[in-house]
């Protein structure tokens, strides 16, 4: 089996739960990333605004961070956007 076939096979083994989790975390990260870019806000400036470290903000934007409801709410307020559609 070649590399591509192994990769496809591995993707088939990913559970719906992991897919749903990462679809959400990437969607949130990408929305934050897009907003920061549109507003010309650096990660450093955003971290300062959120009173967080740059390292923590960097983790938020990887697409693999497990956000808490509280963090999503605080980011939504700080950026004045709905991170999650309700």
Partner 1 sequence: MEKKDVKLEFIDKSEKAALYTICFKGNDTSEFADFMLKYKNNADLKQDYRYIVYALSKILENGALERYFRPEGKINDNLSALPIEHGKLRLYCLRISDQILILGNGGVKRTKKYNEDEELSGYVISLQKFDEILKGEIMKGSITIEHTSIDGIDDKYFRL
Q: What residues make contact with partner 1 under the rule CB under 8 A?
A: 2-4, 6-7, 9-11, 13-15, 18-19, 22-23, 26, 29-30, 33, 43, 58-59, 61-66
C-beta of 14 vs 77, nearer to partner 1: 14
Report the distance separating Cα 54 and Cα 27, nearest Å.
20
C-beta of 59 vs 74, nearer to partner 1: 59
Whole-angstrom CA distances from 77 to 18, 24, 50, 80 are: 28, 19, 10, 5
Task: Tell me the closest approach of the beta carbon of residue 1 to partner 1, in angstroms.
Answer: 8
Report the distance separating Cα 47 and Cα 37, nearest Å.
14
């Amino acid at each position: 089996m070649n590399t591509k076939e192994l990769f496809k096979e591995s993707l088939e083994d990913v559970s719906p739960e992991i897919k749903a989790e990462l679809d959400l975390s990437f969607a949130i990260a990408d929305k934050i990333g897009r907003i920061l870019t549109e507003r010309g806000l650096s990660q450093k400036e955003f971290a300062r605004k959120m009173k967080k470290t740059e390292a923590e903000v960097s983790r938020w934007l990887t697409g693999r961070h497990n956000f808490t409801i509280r963090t999503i709410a605080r980011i939504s307020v700080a950026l004045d956007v709905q991170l999650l559609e309700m």
